[in-house]
Amino acid sequence: MPRRVALEGSHAVSEAVRMADVDVIAAYPITPQTHIVERLAEMVANGELDAEFICVESEHSAMSAVVGAAACGARVFTCTAGQGLELMHEVLFVPSAMRLPVVAVIANRALSAPLNVWGDHSDVMAIRDCGWIQMFAENAQQAFDLTLCAYKVAERPDVLLPAMVHIDGFHVSHVVEPVLLPEEETVREFLPPSEYPFPLDPDRPVSMGCYGPPYIYTEVKKAQEVAIENSYEKVLETFKEFKDVFGREYRPVETYRVEDADMLLLMMGSYAETAMLAIDALRERGDNVGLVRLRLWRPFPAEELRNVLRGVKAVCVFERAISFGMGGPLCAEVRAALYHLPEGERPKVVSFVGGLGGRDVSVEEFEAMLRRAKERVSSDELEGFEFVGLRE
Amino acid sequence: MAVKFENGVQIPAEEYFAPGHRACIGCGEALAVRLVCKALGRDVIIVTATGCIEIVSSPLPWTSWRVPWIHTLFENVGAVVSGVESAYKAMLRKGKKKLEPGRRIKVVGFAGDGGTADIGLQALSGAMERGHDFLYVCFDNEAYMNTGIQRSGATPYGAWTTTAPPGAKSIGQRTWKKNIPEIAVAHNIPYVATACPSYPYDLIRKVRKAVETQGPSYIHILCPCCTGWRFEPKLTIKLGRLAVETGFFPLYEVENGVYKLNIDIDVEKLKPVREYLMLQGRFRHLPESEIEKIQERVILEYKKLKRKVEMTQKIGEEYER
């Protein structure tokens, strides 16, 4: 029987990693990721988890160490945030191209300067194209569930890609919530020990990470693109298997009260839980609004997104990052996905940016944003983006 | 099978670094890698940094490696090694991997001087400090040769490189060579050594010793580079010998803090550094006064090393007891 316990989002992740029976953890401390690794260090120290815990001297080395360990066939884990993710940047592109099923959890954090340890999605956007499967969790339960899903899908012999679970720094990592923890047995059945097909092994020598001159680099990249495109179906299968075992259902694109809506709010991460309250309040007052939450960020679920947004009058994209000089990066991708819908089925899209560097966005602010979105749509102010909660 | 002997050191006939690689004719580094691999044998996993050796040995879809080998990036060999070693440790303990009794897999990092002295120093330091069971071999050709002879922290004073060229206001490299073996010694690891492929028996003996050592060990190998040092390929072995005979690159080892000179030359009997420098185009611009300056420095460093040998001998005797 699953147990219902109060757990911090960070500790929910630690529990998932423990139940996944990882072999090697490498991590470097950074707020707001620390609680995850502190708990894991305790678990290793107490013998609750039989793993090597490498206290590396940087995030660059954290990712490098788990890449080395995964190349030997070990199940690995690392986690970081903000600046740490950027220091990992160079290494992130290695496991995706070398097809190593590394799993990482990121407690999303703003980027310096100015120094800011609080949450937003600047760190995610800067590593968008690293070739990993990427998912967003909104709360502690999802953080637990999606960490297990990340291992399940990453290690599939027909996937073999690294996977990343994003949890909002502080809003998920440091909030204590009720979490349903399954029996360890159940998790072990869902996630049996991994079998990496070509590990570094003196009995079967392989060369990994050979260099790719121009005559072969393009073909290697094509193969990598095919791999991540194909992983979409496997993510769906993984979510289905997860539902069959644990009962909770995930989709690449999830919706809330979207029936008959003429305006849909779209976002990623934990602020969706606040936004739901705003949707409820507006629905109460007769506004036909709904919420779309992007669960899967890579591979980008364009088809499913089109199916959800097709025919809706307008979409209001809210995001916690800026691509300086361009606007909201999530909004740009949503617009691109909708571009080929025929006129009449293609919603108008307006862009809002907020929640930067840990700034809260209240229910009232979401309501105000949706009202403002309506104005912008009716007056055709579709270009650019507006800040939410900006003090002038 | 082993084919040659000197003082009981055997050179195995097996080649684990296969012929057909793309190193320059006369490459001291390729020779050093070949010898190191012979000494390592087959029960190894080699992690290599970006650099000459990676480039000459692994253009897709070919490989020169007959042992398991991985390259990822330039500056992270120490970290990848840590991951590989930890993975084996955990998986053997958990029964996910099995080895015949008595068999041991050694994890070995290979990097050049840039990948060690400069960009990879942090990862190496971390791995040594954490005490992983590994050997790290620095193949030092004293500049970034793979990218076209740019200076590194290991480039010797006065040398020409493309980023420290001599000119009206420069004598070339303005700094003295970073002493990386000493940095390794400062980590209190059980075994540190210098070696040179011009002394193959000494080199092989040291690699064997490092393999048998539990914990971190570090071997720094001077690899004469005809392309970057500007000398005729036929002189590679001779230059390695002159580096040692002039005291420019002494062969020594440090076992649990105890120093030992393997080719122990009286200071008065060291050959003049001029003999070493003048065979190389990279030093040919140096005026007499600069050669003198280098000569003085070499003598000073050699004397310091000899004093370290004397000073630590007693500690060594206590350690033996």
Which residue type occupies A107?
A
Strands (E) located in chain B: 2-6, 9-12, 44-48, 69-71, 106-112, 134-140, 166-167, 170-171, 191-195, 217-222, 252-255, 258-261
Which of A65, A205, A208 is facing B79, going by the closest CB pair?
A65
Kindly state the percentage of chain B with pLDDT values over 90: 93
Please answer yes or no on whether A73 and B68 come within 8 Å at the CB atom: no
Distance CA B217, CA B214 (A): 8
- In chain B, the residue whose alpha carbon lies closest to the alpha carbon of A205 is B68
Can you give the three-state secondary structure of chain A, one letter per residue?
Answer: CCEEEEEEHHHHHHHHHHHCCCCEEEECCCCCCHHHHHHHHHHHHCCCCCCEEEECCCHHHHHHHHHHHHHCCCCEEEEECHHHHHHHHHHHHHHHHHCCCCEEEEEECCCCCCCCCCCCCHHHHHCCCCCCEEEEECCHHHHHHHHHHHHHHHCCCCCCCCEEEEEECCCCCCCEEEEEECCHHHHHHHCCCCCCCCCCCCCCCCEECCECCHHHHHHHHHHHHHHHHHHHHHHHHHHHHHHHHHCCCCCCEEEECCCCCCEEEEECCCHHHHHHHHHHHHHHCCCCEEEEEECEEECCCHHHHHHHHCCCCEEEEEECCCECCCECHHHHHHHHHHCCCCCCCCCEEEEEECCHHHCCCCHHHHHHHHHHHHHHHHCCCCCCEEECCCCC
Smallest CA–CA distance, residue B234 to chain A, in Å, is 30
User: With contacts defined as CB-CB under 8 Å, which chain B residues touch A54?
Assistant: 82-83, 86, 130
Please answer yes or no on whether A94 and B72 come within 8 Å at the CB atom: yes
**Residues A100 and A162: beta-carbon distance below 8 Å:** yes
Say what the pLDDT of residue A94 is.
98
Please answer yes or no on whether B60 and A205 come within 8 Å at the CB atom: no
* CATH number of the domain residue B9 falls in: 3.40.50.970
Q: Is A193 on the interface with B (CB under 8 A)?
A: yes
User: How many Cβ contacts (< 8 angstroms) between chains A and B?
Assistant: 164
Q: pLDDT by residue (tens digit) across A29-73?
A: 999 999 999 999 999 999 999 999 999 999 999 999 999 999 999
Smallest CA–CA distance, residue A219 to chain B, in Å, is 11
Say what the pLDDT of residue B11 is.
87
- In chain A, the residue whose alpha carbon lies closest to the alpha carbon of B55 is A211
| pLDDT, average across residues B55-69 | 96
Say what the pLDDT of residue B8 is.
77
Overall domain count for chain B = 1
The range of the structural domain enclosing residue B47 comes to 2-320
- Would the pLDDT of B209 be above 70? yes
- In chain B, the residue whose alpha carbon lies closest to the alpha carbon of A95 is B72
Q: pLDDT by residue (tens digit) across B42-52?
A: 999 999 999 99
Please answer yes or no on whether A209 and B122 come within 8 Å at the CB atom: no
- Would the pLDDT of B4 be above 70? no
Which of A91, A98, A206 is facing B76, going by the closest CB pair?
A91
Say what the pLDDT of residue A353 is.
98
Q: Which structure tokens are listed for B198?
A: 């011009």
Kindly state the percentage of chain A with pLDDT values over 90: 99
Q: What is the mean pLDDT of chain B?
A: 96
Q: What is the ipTM of this complex?
A: 0.97
Q: Is A61 on the interface with B (CB under 8 A)?
A: yes
Q: pLDDT by residue (tens digit) across B253-275?
A: 999 999 999 999 999 999 999 99
Please answer yes or no on whether A68 and B47 come within 8 Å at the CB atom: yes
Interface test mutation site (partner B, options A40, A49, A52, max chain B beta carbons within 10 A): A52
Q: pLDDT by residue (tens digit) across A165-218?
A: 999 999 999 999 999 999 999 999 999 999 999 999 999 999 999 999 999 999
Task: Check: pTM over 0.95? Answer yes or no.
Answer: yes
User: With contacts defined as CB-CB under 8 Å, which chain A residues touch B88?
Assistant: 72
In chain A, the domains with their CATH numbers are: 3-246 (3.40.50.970), 253-387 (3.40.50.920)
Please answer yes or no on whether B122 and A57 come within 8 Å at the CB atom: yes
Please answer yes or no on whether B87 and A216 come within 8 Å at the CB atom: no
The answer for A 212-241 residues in CB contact with B (under 8 A) is 212-213, 216, 220
Question: For every one of its 392 residues, what pLDDT tens digit does chain A have, with 9 covering 90 and above?
Answer: 899 999 999 999 999 999 999 999 999 999 999 999 999 999 999 999 999 999 999 999 999 999 999 999 999 999 999 999 999 999 999 999 999 999 999 999 999 999 999 999 999 999 999 999 999 999 999 999 999 999 999 999 999 999 999 999 999 999 999 999 999 999 999 999 999 999 999 999 999 999 999 999 999 999 999 999 999 999 999 999 999 999 999 999 999 999 999 999 999 999 999 999 999 999 999 999 999 999 999 999 999 999 999 999 999 999 999 999 999 999 999 999 999 999 999 999 999 999 999 999 999 999 999 999 999 999 999 999 999 999 98
Smallest CA–CA distance, residue B54 to chain A, in Å, is 8
